[in-house]
Structure formats: structure tokens, C-alpha cells
Amino acid sequence: MTLRVQILKDKFSQSLGLPFKELLPETTIRLAISELKIKYKKRLFDPLITLWAFLSQVLDTDKTCHNAVSKIIAHLAESEVEVPSTDTSAYCQARARLPEKLLENIFNFSAQSLEEKVRPEYLWRGRNVKVIDGSTVSMPDTVENQKEYPQPSTQKEGCGFPIAKIGVIFSLVTGAAVALCIDVLNTHDIKLARRLYGFLKPNDVLLGDRAFCAYADMVTITKLDCDAIFRKHQSRTTTMQKGKIVGDCDKLVTWYKPKTCPKGLNKDEFDALPPSITVREIYYYIVIPGFRTQQVSLITTLLDKATYSTLEIVGLCGKRWDVELDLRHLKTTLGMDVLRCKSPSMVRKEIYVYLLAYNLLRSLMWSAGTTYTTPPLRLSLQSTRHHLIHFIPKLLAATPQKRLRIYLILLKVIAHKAVPDRPGRSEPRVRKRRPKAYPLMTKPRHELRKQLQTA
């Protein structure tokens, strides 16, 4: 058993360990295990092997447990040791034994490690910009999942899937995910955001859409020594008749504390709010064909026009769309849109491993871009994933001397072709592929079977 475990650790450290050696070294995983005082028996799937296999599983296009176990068997086949059974139960039980807090801590460490690589010249006006947004993920229709993450109330029982709401903060400079929270579907984005503000660091700038533009949140963010740029909420009217004009389409306005306590705040939090705050309002027009929004109003706590010009803030707001691309990478490129685990605890673990894998790819892109002077955000995450998967067998087969050279070639290949910069790009919002002409499920599957049998 000890020999098989050591062989697997060597294999994983050679294949995945080298590309991610700075972001997720083995010592970091062991430290996280010891800090949580996790005790485990000497078995093939110890926490380290299980985590590496789980990570390899979500990076692969075939995300089945059978494929993950098959990889492990293949790693052991060339050695003169007994190979494990092809049954996936041992691996699945090992994943279930992984504490959720362990994966959360390792994810947080990966985010912090990549943030520490950012040099001042990559920052916006010397400040680190974070982008916040919410999204949803679906999961298998099991009793446990339905109980904790119910499907939409508009769907009939047995005709939908449990859905979880996630809130994520991304780094604008690296594209990495730096914070995550998970809740039920009907949770408002601003409620998720209030659980994420604790991950902000002094001098950060938080960028978000109008769902986050609330009086209490502006106050909270400024108390953290941070600033915010949000699109103005639709419930507030835009007028240039009030406020102090500081430039074209740019003014300072005073917001007053709401008369009644908003939902999501308790009485103590509401009473602690100041009677008023001063914010800066900027509005501009979008003349790009195909854009649904034609006029945008921004609210920001960056009040100094001399330091933060109108055009710089408008340009930064245009990059808020990057968070949509980051979520698309997570959900579509990596496949997090439809999760596979059948219990709420495993669903949350799966989400953390997906974000960990995403950050590891971002770290690889950052290393490639900074090594070969290509903007890291202009590199393709999908291509990075493909190149990594194709290079893994070569890293495994190489000697220690050749492994570093292959790794540098991997970085060069990743940085070889940047995604074209297409500012103001507009495309018609239509689909060319025709969907299949099958009707939607409106009754549970067992009722539909009965209809087939009696027809």
C-alpha cells in the first residue's frame, strides 16, 4: 500500500505538480491538512492522492469517476505493484471524506498565491480591481439536493433540477477567482455580496453591476478602506439638476439614509449607518450597434476627479464584462454548469475544486504571459487547458532534467497565440443551430412512462 501511494504521489507531482508548483505545492496541502487536524488511515486514496485525482477529474473532458480511477490504474500499471480494482466506490468514498473546509482553504490559498505575483505595473492606478457577480449551477435531481437547493418553484416536481446560486469575486488583473459563496436559488445577489466583502483588502476597488448599488453597501465598502464602482440601480432617477458638477456628465451627489430598514439588514446594522454619504455619479451613452443598453449611469466612491478621471472610470467600467467571460469559462469551458455530485456536501466540494482548477489554469496563463511578454488576459483558457492535458504524458515520461525544459516549452506554446483584441465588437443575438423538436418535460418521468405503456 505504501509503495502504491508513493508511486501515485510521484506521478501526480510530475504531471500536475510542476505546472502548478508555485501555486499548489504538496507542502501547502499537507499544511492545510495538519491545520484542520485531519487524521486518516494509510490507504491508497489518502487526502493528497484524492485531491490530485479530483483536480485531474474536473480538468479532463471526461469527468466520470470511472475515468479518474482508470488514470490511477494506468499510473500503477507500469510498476510492479498490485493495481486497484476498477470499482469506483473507494475513490468516491475518499472524495466524501475530504472535508469541505480543506478544499475551501486550499482554494483561498491558490487565490492569494496568484495575487501575490501581481506587480504594481499591472494594477489600475496602483490599485487592485476586483469584479463581483452572481450565477447559478445545476446538479443531479436527488432528494438530498432538492431539499437543500430546491428547483425553481415554477417547475413541476420531477421536471426540473436543483439549482444553487453562487457569488464570486474575480481579480480583474489575473482573471482568478478570489472569493466564493454558495446559497439557494432565490438568494439576491446583494445578500451573497455581503458575505464576500470580508475578502476585500484595503485599497481594493470593487466593480459590479447595478444589483449591488445600495446605500448600505457603499458605506460598508468605504469602511473597509476600499472603493466601489457600480452601475446605478434602476430605482434611482438620473438628473443633473442636483449635485455639484465636476465635469462633463460627472457630478458629486449626496445620498441620504433610507427611511426604513431595507431587507437583508437587521436593525443594529441599519442604525449604525451614517445619515448621508457623498458619491460620484457619471453617465454616458453607448452608440455601438447591437447593444441593448444605450445610456449608463455609474455610481462610485472615487470622488477625486484629478486622480480618477471620468474617462478612466468609464473605461474601467467597460471591463466589468470580463466577469461574464470568467463565469463562462467556469461553467462552459470547464463544465461547471452541470455538476455531477449527488449530495449537497459533495456539490459544494465539487464547486471548490472547479474554482481551484480554474485558478491553476489562470496561474499557468500568468506564468506564460509574464515569461514571454504577452498580456496574460489575452491568452485562451481553453487552449491552456488543452495544452496542459496534452503535455501531461510528456511530463510523466521525461527525466527530471528534461521536465523543466518541457515545462518551459508548455509556457511558450500557451503564450504563442493571443486572443485578438476586438473592442466594441457587436454580433446579432441569434442562434444558427436549430434545436431538436422534442417537447419540454412537463410531467415526472414515471408518469410519462405509464403514458407510453398505455398508449
pLDDT of residue 9: 66
Report whether 363 contacts 110 (CB < 8 A).
Answer: yes
* Distance from C-alpha of 120 to C-alpha of 116, rounded to nearest angstrom: 11
**Rounded CA gap, 279 and 296, in Å?**
16
pLDDT tens, the chain, 455 aa long: 566 777 666 666 666 665 676 667 778 888 888 888 887 777 778 888 888 889 889 998 999 999 988 888 887 777 777 787 889 998 999 999 999 999 999 999 999 989 998 999 999 999 999 999 999 999 999 999 999 999 998 888 889 999 999 999 999 999 999 999 999 999 999 999 999 999 999 999 999 998 999 999 999 999 999 999 999 988 776 555 677 887 788 899 999 999 999 888 889 999 999 999 999 999 888 776 666 666 788 999 999 999 999 999 998 988 888 899 999 999 999 999 999 999 999 999 999 999 999 999 999 999 999 999 999 999 999 999 999 988 888 888 888 788 889 889 999 999 998 888 877 677 777 888 888 888 888 888 888 999 888 87
Domain ranges for the chain: 2-101+359-416, 102-330
* Beta strand ranges found along 209-349 (DSSP E): 227-231, 244-247, 250-256, 276-285, 295-300
- Contact indicator for 212, 193 with CB cutoff of 8 Å: yes
Distance CA 50, CA 440 (A): 38
Report how far residue 63's alpha carbon sits from residue 74's, in angstroms, rounded to the nearest whole number: 16
How far apart (Å, rounded) are the C-alpha atoms in residues 256 and 361?
Answer: 44
- What whole-number distance in Å separates Cα of residue 373 and Cα of residue 378? 11
Residue 14 is predicted with a pLDDT of 62
Q: Are strands 163-171 and 177-184 parallel, antiparallel or unpaired?
A: antiparallel
Alpha carbon dihedral 107, 111, 113, 117, in 10-degree steps, equals: 160
Helix (H, G, I), strand (E, B) or coil at 447: helix
For residue 17, the model assigns a pLDDT of: 61
DSSP state of 333: I
Are the beta carbons of 114 and 176 closer than 8 angstroms? Answer: yes
Angle value at C-alpha 35, between 33 and 41, nearest 5 degrees: 40
CA–CA separation, 93 vs 97, rounded Å?
6
Assigned C-alpha cell, 5: 501511494
User: Cα–chain-centroid distance for residue 92?
Assistant: 24
Of 171, 103, 180, 94, whose CA–CA distance to 134 is shortest? 180
CA distance 209 to 230: 5
Q: What is the pLDDT, as a whole number, of residue 285? A: 80
Assigned C-alpha cell, 450 = 405509464
In terms of Cα–Cα distance, which of 378, 419, 352, 338 is closest to 137?
A: 338
| 311 vs 284: CA distance, rounded Å | 10
* The CATH number, out of the four listed (3.40.50.1970, 3.30.750.24, 3.90.350.10, 3.60.70.12), of the domain defined by the range 102-330: 3.90.350.10
Q: Are 298 and 230 in contact (CB under 8 A)?
A: yes
Measured in degrees and rounded to the nearest 5, phi and psi for residue 267 equal -65, -40
DSSP 197-211: GGG--TT-EEEE-GG
Q: What values do phi and psi take at 55, rounded to 5?
A: -65, -45
| pLDDT value of residue 366 | 94
Q: What is the DSSP letter of 329?
A: I
Question: How many of the other CB atoms lie within 10 Å of CB of 431?
Answer: 7
The kind and range of the H/E element at 385 are helix 381-397
Strand pairing report for 129-138 and 205-208: parallel
One-letter amino acid for residue 73 of the chain: I
pLDDT at 1: 53
